[in-house]
Structure 1
């Protein structure tokens, strides 16, 4: 348990802090074309993409903002296509219609339907999504509000807490072991 705590503290925490520093620098980098394949180092980077044809548009919960209008798109390129978050709405029954087109904004994670346990066994990288700065002008059916700005605080960094947790478990195990030794009956060796 102590080794796991040291691993979190000396290996995982510095790696995560370096990753967060890279993500913090991404919004200032020049815009790029939306990537064809997942790459977490591109989160929060400005990008643009062309949705040739939306294949599905659905609403997903967005907390205080209401619901996110998310479109699955064909891009004409090989690969998984593109996911674009067009905007947000407060109406859970909103019918969004969009014929596709150019989308520009920033790169984020796409919603992931995997359960926590399922994600332990499925190591497929989480898909990326292009979050539009403003809803495309040719969206009809609902007055979409602009999406929120990227938030670095949405990327968890729990490694210091995990290290403390492992050290706490080790301390509890040491206390239990000490108590067990004290309560153990002492047998004296009798000479024969």
Structure 2
């Protein structure tokens, strides 16, 4: 019977243990994500609120229906996004003044178009109702139910658009561990004694 080489065997076993630990960690993340998505889904059914006047780190507000007032659009940003029909294009995000020049104001997704050019014309500003979403920087945006003139409605924020891939990642880590053991077993089996 062949003796296993100490250092290579130790190295492989440590790597396998790390891969199994990463798989277990991904399973824990999947459970956490399930809870987060359930809270997001519950937020969709809650009564509307006023859009937060100051930034809050409360993700419980995401996917809540809300309303606010955009007194004046002070800047436009175009970001890649989808329409409610699922077409690719540009979301038009307005930075709004909400009162007295104080505070951060409010970001409103006024709608979608194929062009990144800022919307023009009347009908921008005033009361806005929609759904709270967050952007890539985790800043709240109110996605307007009613698009501005010349725009189509942006895709409605939904927790259904947030993937929970953690179980798949866990399976990958467990398979990596199994493959490492199989490859090491084959390598040791072919080793000349």
TM range (shorter): 0.7 to 0.9
Is residue 89 of structure 2 the alignment partner of residue 72 of structure 1? no
SS at 1:58 equivalent: strand
Alignment of 1:35-114 (within 5 A): 35=52, 36-37=54-55, 38-63=57-82, 64=87, 66-76=89-99, 79-93=103-117, 95-97=119-121, 100-110=125-135, 112=136
How many residue pairs are counted as aligned between the two chains?
A: 167
CA offset at residue 97 of structure 1?
A: 4.7
* Alpha-carbon distance between aligned partners in 1 of 2:181 and 2:102, rounded to the nearest angstrom: 56
* Alpha-carbon distance between aligned partners in 1 of 2:170 and 2:150, rounded to the nearest angstrom: 46
Match of 1:167 in 2: 174
> Could you state the TM-score of these two structures normalised by the residue count of structure 1?
0.75
SS at 1:161 equivalent: helix
Query: Closer, same or farther in 2 for the Cα pair 1:65/1:24, shift >3 Å?
Result: same
Deviations 1:74-94 (A, max 9, x none): 334765432110112234445
In structure 1, list runs of 5 or more residues that go unmatched. 113-124, 187-192
In structure 2, list runs of 5 or more residues that go unmatched. 1-18
* Alpha-carbon distance between aligned partners in 2 of 1:51 and 1:151, rounded to the nearest angstrom: 23
Calculate the aligned-residue CA RMSD, in Å. Answer: 2.3
Larger mean CA deviation between 156-165 and 169-178 belongs to 169-178
> Could you state the TM-score of these two structures normalised by the residue count of structure 2?
0.75
